[in-house]
A = this chain, B = another copy of it.
Amino acid sequence: MKTKRSERLIDMTHYLLEHPHTLIPLTLFSKKYESAKSSISEDLTIVKHTFAERGIGFLETVPGAAGGVKYIPKMNKQDIEAFVNDLIDELNHSKRLLPGGYVYLSDMMGDPKWLRRIGRAIASQYMDTEVNSVMTVATKGVPIAQSVAFYLNVPFVIVRRDSKVTEGSTVSINYVSGSSFDRVEKMELSRRSLDMGSKVVIVDDFLKGGGTINGMISLIEEFNSEVVGATVIAENIFRGERSVKDYTALLKVDNVNTEDRTIEVSAGNFLSSIK
Protein backbone atom coordinates (compact mmCIF):
# COMPACT_ATOMS: atom_id res chain seq x y z
CA MET A 1 0.00 0.00 0.00
CA LYS A 2 1.27 3.45 -0.89
CA THR A 3 2.03 5.65 2.06
CA LYS A 4 0.63 9.11 2.64
CA ARG A 5 3.00 12.06 2.59
CA SER A 6 2.27 12.96 6.22
CA GLU A 7 3.19 9.46 7.36
CA ARG A 8 6.32 9.44 5.21
CA LEU A 9 7.51 12.77 6.61
CA ILE A 10 7.17 11.55 10.19
CA ASP A 11 8.85 8.20 9.63
CA MET A 12 11.56 9.73 7.42
CA THR A 13 12.37 12.29 10.11
CA HIS A 14 12.73 9.50 12.67
CA TYR A 15 14.85 7.42 10.33
CA LEU A 16 17.19 10.30 9.49
CA LEU A 17 17.61 11.31 13.14
CA GLU A 18 18.53 7.72 14.06
CA HIS A 19 21.07 7.53 11.20
CA PRO A 20 23.10 10.73 11.30
CA HIS A 21 26.10 11.10 8.98
CA THR A 22 24.93 8.10 6.97
CA LEU A 23 24.32 8.21 3.23
CA ILE A 24 20.81 6.92 2.64
CA PRO A 25 19.94 6.00 -0.95
CA LEU A 26 16.58 7.30 -2.16
CA THR A 27 15.66 3.76 -3.12
CA LEU A 28 15.62 2.81 0.57
CA PHE A 29 12.82 5.30 1.16
CA SER A 30 10.95 4.56 -2.05
CA LYS A 31 10.90 0.84 -1.17
CA LYS A 32 10.06 1.46 2.49
CA TYR A 33 7.07 3.60 1.52
CA GLU A 34 6.24 2.01 -1.83
CA SER A 35 6.34 5.46 -3.34
CA ALA A 36 7.85 6.94 -6.50
CA LYS A 37 11.30 8.48 -6.26
CA SER A 38 9.84 11.79 -7.39
CA SER A 39 7.52 11.82 -4.35
CA ILE A 40 10.43 10.93 -2.07
CA SER A 41 12.45 13.79 -3.57
CA GLU A 42 9.63 16.21 -2.85
CA ASP A 43 9.37 14.89 0.71
CA LEU A 44 13.08 15.40 1.24
CA THR A 45 12.90 18.98 0.01
CA ILE A 46 10.32 19.69 2.70
CA VAL A 47 12.41 17.86 5.33
CA LYS A 48 15.55 19.74 4.30
CA HIS A 49 13.81 23.09 4.51
CA THR A 50 12.28 22.33 7.92
CA PHE A 51 15.51 20.92 9.38
CA ALA A 52 17.33 24.11 8.38
CA GLU A 53 14.53 26.44 9.47
CA ARG A 54 14.11 24.80 12.89
CA GLY A 55 17.81 24.33 13.70
CA ILE A 56 17.58 20.53 13.55
CA GLY A 57 20.48 20.16 11.14
CA PHE A 58 21.55 20.01 7.56
CA LEU A 59 20.26 17.56 4.97
CA GLU A 60 22.97 17.01 2.40
CA THR A 61 21.89 15.79 -1.03
CA VAL A 62 24.38 13.63 -2.93
CA PRO A 63 23.37 13.42 -6.60
CA GLY A 64 23.96 10.52 -8.98
CA ALA A 65 23.38 6.79 -9.04
CA ALA A 66 25.38 6.22 -5.83
CA GLY A 67 23.74 9.24 -4.27
CA GLY A 68 21.16 9.84 -1.62
CA VAL A 69 20.71 12.02 1.42
CA LYS A 70 22.75 12.46 4.56
CA TYR A 71 21.49 14.04 7.76
CA ILE A 72 24.12 16.11 9.52
CA PRO A 73 23.16 17.17 13.05
CA LYS A 74 24.02 20.80 13.40
CA MET A 75 23.21 23.17 16.17
CA ASN A 76 23.05 26.69 14.84
CA LYS A 77 25.22 29.38 16.40
CA GLN A 78 22.30 30.95 18.21
CA ASP A 79 21.37 27.65 19.90
CA ILE A 80 25.00 27.02 20.84
CA GLU A 81 25.19 30.48 22.39
CA ALA A 82 22.07 29.76 24.41
CA PHE A 83 23.51 26.40 25.46
CA VAL A 84 26.85 27.89 26.56
CA ASN A 85 24.95 30.51 28.54
CA ASP A 86 22.89 27.80 30.23
CA LEU A 87 26.12 26.00 31.14
CA ILE A 88 27.52 29.23 32.58
CA ASP A 89 24.34 29.79 34.62
CA GLU A 90 24.51 26.24 35.93
CA LEU A 91 28.15 26.43 37.03
CA ASN A 92 28.61 30.03 38.05
CA HIS A 93 28.57 30.56 41.78
CA SER A 94 27.09 27.14 42.47
CA LYS A 95 28.74 25.10 45.21
CA ARG A 96 30.49 22.76 42.81
CA LEU A 97 34.04 23.19 44.00
CA LEU A 98 35.36 20.14 45.79
CA PRO A 99 38.46 19.92 47.96
CA GLY A 100 41.62 20.08 45.85
CA GLY A 101 40.12 22.45 43.29
CA TYR A 102 38.07 19.76 41.51
CA VAL A 103 34.70 20.67 40.10
CA TYR A 104 31.66 18.47 40.66
CA LEU A 105 30.01 17.79 37.31
CA SER A 106 28.78 14.22 37.71
CA ASP A 107 25.13 15.24 37.93
CA MET A 108 25.29 17.04 34.58
CA MET A 109 27.42 14.30 33.01
CA GLY A 110 24.74 11.81 34.00
CA ASP A 111 21.80 13.82 32.70
CA PRO A 112 20.59 13.07 29.16
CA LYS A 113 19.20 16.60 28.86
CA TRP A 114 22.68 18.13 29.20
CA LEU A 115 24.41 15.32 27.33
CA ARG A 116 22.21 15.68 24.25
CA ARG A 117 23.13 19.34 23.99
CA ILE A 118 26.82 18.66 24.68
CA GLY A 119 26.84 15.96 22.01
CA ARG A 120 25.06 18.03 19.37
CA ALA A 121 27.15 21.13 20.06
CA ILE A 122 30.53 19.40 19.89
CA ALA A 123 29.49 17.29 16.89
CA SER A 124 28.52 20.52 15.10
CA GLN A 125 32.13 21.67 15.29
CA TYR A 126 33.24 18.59 13.36
CA MET A 127 30.32 18.33 10.94
CA ASP A 128 32.49 19.11 7.89
CA THR A 129 35.45 17.01 9.02
CA GLU A 130 35.97 13.33 8.35
CA VAL A 131 35.92 11.62 11.74
CA ASN A 132 36.22 7.86 12.34
CA SER A 133 36.38 7.76 16.10
CA VAL A 134 35.89 9.79 19.28
CA MET A 135 38.46 9.21 22.02
CA THR A 136 38.45 10.00 25.70
CA VAL A 137 40.08 8.86 28.91
CA ALA A 138 38.20 6.91 31.60
CA THR A 139 36.11 7.68 33.50
CA LYS A 140 34.86 11.27 33.47
CA GLY A 141 35.11 11.76 29.73
CA VAL A 142 33.08 8.68 28.78
CA PRO A 143 29.57 10.19 28.78
CA ILE A 144 30.85 13.14 26.73
CA ALA A 145 32.52 10.84 24.20
CA GLN A 146 29.40 8.69 23.90
CA SER A 147 27.18 11.71 23.34
CA VAL A 148 29.43 13.19 20.66
CA ALA A 149 29.75 9.74 19.04
CA PHE A 150 25.94 9.43 18.93
CA TYR A 151 25.62 12.62 16.87
CA LEU A 152 28.65 11.92 14.67
CA ASN A 153 27.52 8.27 14.45
CA VAL A 154 31.03 6.87 14.85
CA PRO A 155 32.43 4.59 17.56
CA PHE A 156 34.08 5.99 20.67
CA VAL A 157 37.11 4.50 22.37
CA ILE A 158 38.14 4.73 26.00
CA VAL A 159 41.75 5.09 27.05
CA ARG A 160 42.42 3.66 30.50
CA ARG A 161 44.92 4.45 33.19
CA ASP A 162 44.57 0.95 34.61
CA SER A 163 44.74 -2.25 32.63
CA LYS A 164 41.51 -4.17 32.39
CA VAL A 165 41.62 -7.88 31.89
CA THR A 166 38.60 -7.72 29.58
CA GLU A 167 40.28 -5.52 27.00
CA GLY A 168 42.64 -8.02 25.39
CA SER A 169 46.06 -6.84 24.25
CA THR A 170 46.76 -3.14 24.64
CA VAL A 171 49.14 -0.45 23.46
CA SER A 172 50.43 1.72 26.29
CA ILE A 173 52.41 4.94 26.51
CA ASN A 174 53.87 7.02 29.33
CA TYR A 175 52.86 10.62 29.67
CA VAL A 176 53.67 13.53 31.91
CA SER A 177 50.78 14.31 34.22
CA GLY A 178 49.97 16.98 36.75
CA SER A 179 50.22 20.70 36.49
CA SER A 180 53.80 20.69 37.72
CA PHE A 181 54.87 18.24 35.00
CA ASP A 182 56.58 16.04 37.52
CA ARG A 183 54.58 12.84 37.44
CA VAL A 184 54.96 10.20 34.77
CA GLU A 185 51.92 8.00 34.32
CA LYS A 186 50.77 5.30 31.97
CA MET A 187 47.71 5.17 29.75
CA GLU A 188 46.68 2.42 27.42
CA LEU A 189 44.22 1.52 24.73
CA SER A 190 42.98 -1.87 23.61
CA ARG A 191 44.62 -2.80 20.33
CA ARG A 192 41.31 -3.88 18.85
CA SER A 193 39.51 -0.66 19.61
CA LEU A 194 41.12 1.66 17.05
CA ASP A 195 41.94 0.93 13.40
CA MET A 196 45.25 2.15 12.00
CA GLY A 197 44.82 5.31 9.93
CA SER A 198 41.79 6.59 11.86
CA LYS A 199 40.83 10.23 12.16
CA VAL A 200 40.16 10.92 15.81
CA VAL A 201 38.41 13.63 17.81
CA ILE A 202 39.55 13.86 21.46
CA VAL A 203 37.08 14.97 24.12
CA ASP A 204 37.36 15.40 27.88
CA ASP A 205 35.74 17.27 30.74
CA PHE A 206 38.54 19.54 31.95
CA LEU A 207 41.81 20.78 30.53
CA LYS A 208 44.47 21.92 32.94
CA GLY A 209 48.09 21.55 31.87
CA GLY A 210 47.19 19.42 28.87
CA GLY A 211 49.12 16.32 29.95
CA THR A 212 46.20 13.94 29.50
CA ILE A 213 45.34 15.22 26.03
CA ASN A 214 49.00 15.08 25.07
CA GLY A 215 49.09 11.49 26.23
CA MET A 216 46.12 10.66 24.00
CA ILE A 217 47.82 12.39 21.07
CA SER A 218 50.88 10.16 21.58
CA LEU A 219 48.68 7.11 21.78
CA ILE A 220 46.90 8.07 18.54
CA GLU A 221 50.31 8.33 16.86
CA GLU A 222 51.10 4.79 18.03
CA PHE A 223 48.05 3.68 16.04
CA ASN A 224 49.32 5.59 12.97
CA SER A 225 46.22 7.69 13.27
CA GLU A 226 45.49 11.37 13.11
CA VAL A 227 44.04 13.83 15.64
CA VAL A 228 41.49 16.03 13.88
CA GLY A 229 40.60 18.04 16.96
CA ALA A 230 40.29 18.21 20.73
CA THR A 231 37.37 19.69 22.65
CA VAL A 232 36.79 19.99 26.39
CA ILE A 233 33.89 21.21 28.47
CA ALA A 234 36.06 23.69 30.38
CA GLU A 235 39.61 24.89 30.44
CA ASN A 236 40.77 25.37 33.99
CA ILE A 237 42.92 28.15 35.33
CA PHE A 238 46.53 27.23 34.61
CA ARG A 239 49.62 29.23 35.42
CA GLY A 240 52.35 28.39 32.97
CA GLU A 241 52.46 27.20 29.41
CA ARG A 242 50.07 24.47 28.36
CA SER A 243 51.55 21.50 26.55
CA VAL A 244 48.54 21.48 24.22
CA LYS A 245 47.77 24.50 22.08
CA ASP A 246 45.15 23.33 19.64
CA TYR A 247 41.85 22.74 21.38
CA THR A 248 38.43 24.23 21.83
CA ALA A 249 36.70 24.68 25.20
CA LEU A 250 33.01 25.35 25.75
CA LEU A 251 33.83 27.18 28.97
CA LYS A 252 36.71 28.90 30.66
CA VAL A 253 37.19 28.89 34.42
CA ASP A 254 38.04 32.48 35.41
CA ASN A 255 38.10 32.28 39.12
CA VAL A 256 38.05 29.75 41.92
CA ASN A 257 36.81 30.67 45.38
CA THR A 258 37.91 27.96 47.74
CA GLU A 259 36.28 29.68 50.69
CA ASP A 260 32.67 29.58 49.53
CA ARG A 261 33.41 26.60 47.21
CA THR A 262 32.23 28.36 44.05
CA ILE A 263 33.77 28.96 40.65
CA GLU A 264 33.28 31.61 38.00
CA VAL A 265 33.15 30.59 34.39
CA SER A 266 32.66 32.37 31.08
CA ALA A 267 32.36 31.29 27.44
CA GLY A 268 35.43 29.51 26.07
CA ASN A 269 36.91 29.67 22.56
CA PHE A 270 34.43 27.09 21.25
CA LEU A 271 31.85 29.59 20.08
CA SER A 272 34.24 31.41 17.79
CA SER A 273 35.15 28.10 16.12
CA ILE A 274 31.56 27.68 14.87
CA LYS A 275 30.57 29.19 11.59
Are the C-beta atoms of A106 and B7 separated by less than 8 Å?
A: no
Q: Is A275 an interface residue (CB 8 A)?
A: no
B111 near A155 with CB under 8 A, answer yes
Whether A37 is near chain B, meaning CB under 8 Å from some CB there, is: no
Given A112-B149, A155-B112: A166 touches B104 (CB 8 Å cut-off): yes
A157 CA to B146 CA, complexed, in Å: 15
- Chain B residues contacting A99 (CB-CB under 8 Å) are 165
Q: Mark A5-28, 1 if CB is under 8 A from B, else 0.
A: 111011101100110000000000
Contacts of A142 in B (CB 8 A): 139, 142-143, 146
Question: Is A178 an interface residue when CB atoms closer than 8 A count as contact?
Answer: no
Q: In the complex, which residues of chain B have a beta carbon less than 8 angstroms from the beta carbon of A110?
A: 149, 155-158, 193
Residues of the B chain whose Cβ atoms lie less than 8 Å from the Cβ of A158: 106, 110, 139
A196 → B minimal CB distance (Å)? 15
A53 touches B112 (CB 8 A): no
A6 touches B9 (CB 8 A): yes
Please name all residues of chain B whose beta carbon is closer than 8 Å to the beta carbon of A166 when the two chains form the complex: 98, 102-106, 140
Number of interface residues of A (CB under 8 A): 57
Cβ-based interface call for A237 (8 A): no
- Contact between B10 and A106, CB atoms less than 8 A apart: no
Residues from chain B with Cβ under 8 Å of A56 in the complex: 11, 14
Complex Cα–Cα for A166 and B106 (A): 8
Q: Does A11 contact B164, Cβ atoms closer than 8 Å? A: no
Q: Is A150 an interface residue (CB 8 A)?
A: yes
**Number of identical monomers bound together in the oligomeric complex:** 2
A56 to B11, CA, bound (A): 8
Q: Are B192 and A112 in contact (CB under 8 A)?
A: no
Cβ distance A14 to chain B, nearest Cβ, rounded Å? 5
> Which chain A residues numbered 41 to 78 have a C-beta less than 8 Å away from chain B?
46-47, 49-51, 53-54, 56
A143: chain B residues at CB < 8 Å are 142, 146
A153 within 8 A of B: yes
Identify A146's interface contact among B7, B54, B107, B146, CB under 8 A: B146
Return the contact of A9 from the options B9, B18, B153, B160 (Cβ within 8 A): B9
Q: Is B46 within 8 A of A102, CB to CB?
A: no
Told that A9-B13, A115-B146, A142-B142 touch, could you supply 8 new A-B pairs with CB distance under 8 A?
A7-B50, A9-B10, A10-B46, A99-B165, A102-B165, A106-B192, A139-B142, A146-B147
Chain A interface (Cβ within 8 Å of chain B)? 5-7, 9-11, 13-14, 17-18, 46-47, 49-51, 53-54, 56, 98-100, 102-107, 110-113, 115-116, 138-140, 142-143, 146-147, 149-150, 153-158, 160, 164-168, 190, 192-193
